[in-house]
Structure 1
Amino acid sequence: MRTARTRSSFLLTAALILIVLLQMGCQTTDDSWERVQAAGVLRVGLDPTYPPFEVDDGRGVYGLDVDLAKAIASDLGLDVQFVYFGYDGLYDALATEQVDVLISALVIIPERTRDFAYSEPYFNAGEILIVPADNTTIETMEDLGGQTVAVELGSLGHVEATEWAKRVEGLEIITFSTADEAITAVQQNNAHAALTDAISGRLFLRENDGLKRLPESVTVEPFALVVRSEDEQLLTTLNKSLINLEQTGQLSQIMSEWLDS
């Protein structure tokens, strides 16, 4: 019996070692950053139909994301290659390794994190409040009690304002067909504030005087870079580059150039 138990123990140990070796053999080494670095080129996938983030006018692609990609590539000592896809084809292109990273005004989608990984956010496209430039009383949505807020009908701003109206007494919502019309209502003193997405709001302020956006966003809609989930090394490198661009002021400069006056 002692010999049988010893033999059984040996076989069990051997089986466990075999399982571990098989698992190790199935694991792939993450060389994503070394691969990009060796190629000397960061392949960036984008949909060039979304100004001011990326647009191709027939003479080449330009926009906020384009400048961001160039800044990241320069920071990492790489060239950059832009590869165009329709919006619906971006993630498939990344999954099939046609590109290394997506930089295309993409919102973080938790449901996709099984196959893809997102960088730290580089832009918040969430809802912002726009008020008259001389306003000193409205600092948050809570200050709109007994006042009017203009929104685009059916927009996320409309949904958010509706929720706030349940909590802020006397908050009145006025709807318009477009975000620009909602902001114009504030400009013409027909509303106390407008709640709109950060892109529409900042672009309007870029071309119009007499208004300002409040510094704190009402909601969060983060834009981020996207890589394959297994490319952790590349993601870490890209995040470090984003931090560096933020610390040196380059990121803010790019944002201001495309979204502010």
Structure 2
Amino acid sequence: MVATTYKRLIWFAIPLVIVVAYALFSSSREAQGKIAPGDILRVGIDPTVPPFAAIVDDAFQGFEVELAKAIGTKLGTPVQLVIVNYDSRYDALINNQVDCVVAMLAVDMTKTADVMYSQPYYDDGLLLVSMSQTYDDLTTELRGQSVAFAYGSEADTTTRQWQVRIEGLERRPYEFASYALDAMRLGDADTALVDATTYYLYEDESDFQITWVSSVPYAIAVAKDRPGLAQQINSVLDDLMTDGTLGQMIESWF
């Protein structure tokens, strides 16, 4: 399922803020900050969120780990993985502790004074999942239907907004997003609204129908004063998408 929806996942309706940030990233022409063959590419990685990144038997593994190494291979540089966490991701970059960060970063326009973002390499937006149909007009087609979701998640917020404008919509909260998919599969809810990662990691989604509801693209961050490196990374991502390597990574890990 991941393989067949890969292009949809990468290119789905990227919001304007992503386009603007990508324009800032790709418009720089200077060579400043480029990585030369033989240099060490220091990549910030958050190894606490598998399958994106984890440490198993004292070794890094995961989708973003493989992506970082592939970028290094394309640039002809060894890769040094540097542990960052949610709070230190941008500080490590700004303080020159890493050259780039590959750690589930959604584009944040408030950070663009200090960093540039690549084009997206993964999209973790919301999917409306059903056993029987896709949805073209949510306002009319969800009338009188029940939607399962994880309590306290973005899907929770979204379904609250839907309930205001969709007649007869019933919200059914569950502890985890995977439980929402269980409820939909077992017939306890008509649909489930979940993040793309939960959907891809679900044990058996082969018979499900999906409708993309929102987009949350993840991008690589580089310090604003290193436009040369920014261009290099973006060029590598182009290559990895074109030759299918990125799609194979996503299929392998999800």
Q: TM-score range by the shorter chain?
A: 0.7 to 0.9
1:49 matched to which residue of 2?
48
Compared with structure 1, are the counterparts of its residues 209 and 144 closer, same or farther at alpha carbon in structure 2 (3 Å cutoff)? same
Compared with structure 1, are the counterparts of its residues 105 and 140 closer, same or farther at alpha carbon in structure 2 (3 Å cutoff)? farther
Query: Residue type of the partner of 1:119?
Result: S
Larger fraction in helix: 1
In 2, the alpha carbon distance for the partners of 1:180 and 1:240 equals: 36
Residue 78, structure 1, aligned to residue 63, structure 2:
no
1:188 matched to which residue of 2?
186
1:246 matched to which residue of 2?
241
Residue by residue, what CA displacement relative to the aligned partner does 1:127-166 show, whole Å, maximum 9, x if unpaired?
111222xx13645634222211101112100111121222
- 1:55-70 pair list within 5 angstroms: 55-70=54-69
Residues 107 and 218 of structure 2 are in contact (CA less than 8 Å); yes or no, is this contact kept in structure 1?
yes
- 1:1-261 pair list within 5 angstroms: 31-33=32-34, 36-132=35-131, 135-136=132-133, 138=135, 141-142=138-139, 143-204=141-202, 207-209=203-205, 211-214=207-210, 216-259=211-254
Q: Aligned-pair distance for 1:240?
A: 1.2
Residues 30 and 230 of structure 1 are in contact (CA less than 8 Å); yes or no, is this contact kept in structure 2?
no
Query: Residue type of the partner of 2:176?
Result: T
Which structure has the larger Rg? 1
Residue by residue, what CA displacement relative to the aligned partner does 1:46-102 show, whole Å, maximum 9, x if unpaired?
111111100012330000101111122222222211111232122111112111100
Compared with structure 1, are the counterparts of its residues 95 and 210 closer, same or farther at alpha carbon in structure 2 (3 Å cutoff)? closer
1:24 matched to which residue of 2?
none
In 2, the alpha carbon distance for the partners of 1:63 and 1:169 equals: 43
In 1, the alpha carbon distance for the partners of 2:187 and 2:41 equals: 49
Compared with structure 1, are the counterparts of its residues 49 and 191 closer, same or farther at alpha carbon in structure 2 (3 Å cutoff)? same
In 1, the alpha carbon distance for the partners of 2:242 and 2:52 equals: 22
2:25 matched to which residue of 1?
none
Compared with structure 1, are the counterparts of its residues 140 and 257 closer, same or farther at alpha carbon in structure 2 (3 Å cutoff)? farther
Q: Aligned-pair distance for 1:41?
A: 2.3
Q: Which runs of 5 or more structure 1 residues have no equivalent in the other structure?
A: 1-28
Compared with structure 1, are the counterparts of its residues 136 and 91 closer, same or farther at alpha carbon in structure 2 (3 Å cutoff)? closer
CA RMSD of aligned residues (A): 1.8
In 2, the alpha carbon distance for the partners of 1:39 and 1:94 equals: 21
Which 4+ residue blocks in structure 1 deviate beyond 6 angstroms? none
Aligned residues: 224
